[in-house]
Structure 1
Amino acid sequence: MRSTDIYLHFNGNSEMAFSFYRSIFGGEFIAAQRYKDVPGGDKMNDDDQEKMMHISLKITPYTTLMASDIVNKDDSNFGAGNNFHICLHAENEKDADKLFNALSNEGRIEMPMNKTFWGAYFGMCQDKFGIQWMINFTYPQTN
């Protein structure tokens, strides 16, 4: 495993929260992508299009704080305690699968491991103790 980061979920105010975090930790945003900028985002309602699909801020040389806004306001399961994931960055796809399979065993798969439009092999699960995990392997960029 390469690193572990914190991934937070907000109900439409991740940009405001991350401006606050940047005022405390300093640094620059590594990424700030809105739902309108991703494939299919143009089909969302106007309010959801402006929400953050992904925002990240490097807070130490080894830790990145990341977040997204939820787009389903009817999700009654969203709230304090389940509004975060621990994000593990794997060395390769095999390592990612090993981590994902072990953590999701007797738990719940939220998003199976799969190649994504943003160039990663990625999945989300909840372990048998209710902790939410993201497993990520970013493919090396080729030029």
Structure 2
Amino acid sequence: MEAYLSFNGNAAEALAFYARSLGGKILFSMTFGESPMGKDTPEAYKGKIMHATLEARGKQIMASDLPPGMAFEGYKGFSLSVQAGDVKEGEALFKALSEGGKVTMPYAATFWSPGFGMLEDKFGVPWMVNVAQPQG
């Protein structure tokens, strides 16, 4: 399974932020204006993302801006989770993703992990950064 995020007109900015924060790259991106229905797209939406795919850390996130007429209602009931290889990497990921956002649980050791934290990024998307407990 892969996550598909809908944005309120800032999908391109969000995906560029995720590519930088997670060390990934955008594999595909098409605007509403570039699509087969581009000529029928309102001018204000021609440059908005109709579909894009980002690959980072061996996973993919797909995203788009909401099409004309659809209301953005925020993000509720889920978190994107990223696994770090060690505490230092987890801390770097947490710092990058939380830049301009809101920390909801500071990055720290827990009973299940040597490094875990929760945040909402600057686009309002909830994230968890986790380091697996060393197997011993």
User: What TM-score do the two structures reach when normalised by structure 1?
Assistant: 0.49
Partner AA of 2:48 in structure 1: K
Q: Against the structure 1 CA distance between its residues 37 and 64, is the aligned structure 2 distance closer, same or farther, given a 3 Å change threshold? A: same
Bigger Rg, which one: 2
Distance 1:34 1:75 in 2: 16
Indicate yes or no: 2:26 matched with 1:29. Answer: yes
Which protein, 1 or 2, shows the higher relative CO under an 8 Å CA cutoff with sep ≥ 6? Answer: 1
| Percentage of identical aligned residues | 29
1:49 aligns with 2:46: yes
How far 1:71 moved relative to its partner?
2.1
Per-residue CA deviations over 1:56-83 (Å, capped at 9, x if unaligned) read: 111222x2011000122x434x312369
Q: Structure 2 residue aligned with 1:79, among 70, 73, 78?
A: 73
Amino acid across the alignment from 2:38 = G
Shift of 1:46: 1.2
Mapped to 1, the partners of 2:70 and 2:21 lie a distance apart of 30
> Unaligned stretches of 5+ in structure 2?
79-136
Letter of the structure 2 residue corresponding to residue 30 of structure 1: L
RMSD: 2.1
Alpha-carbon distance in 1 for matches of 2:40, 2:9: 18
1:40 aligns with 2:37: yes
* One-letter amino acid of the structure 1 residue matched with residue 70 of structure 2: D
Structure 1: stretches of 5+ with no match in the other structure: 85-143
Cα deviation 1:103-130 (Å, max 9, x = unaligned) = xxxxxxxxxxxxxxxxxxxxxxxxxxxx
Matches within 5 A, 1:1-143: 4-61=1-58, 63-72=59-68, 74-76=69-71, 78-81=72-75
Paired with 2:37 and 2:45, the residues of 1 have a C-alpha distance of 12
How many pairs does the alignment contain?
78
Map Cα deviations across residues 76-96 of structure 1 (whole Å, 9 max, x no partner). Answer: 4x3123699xxxxxxxxxxxx
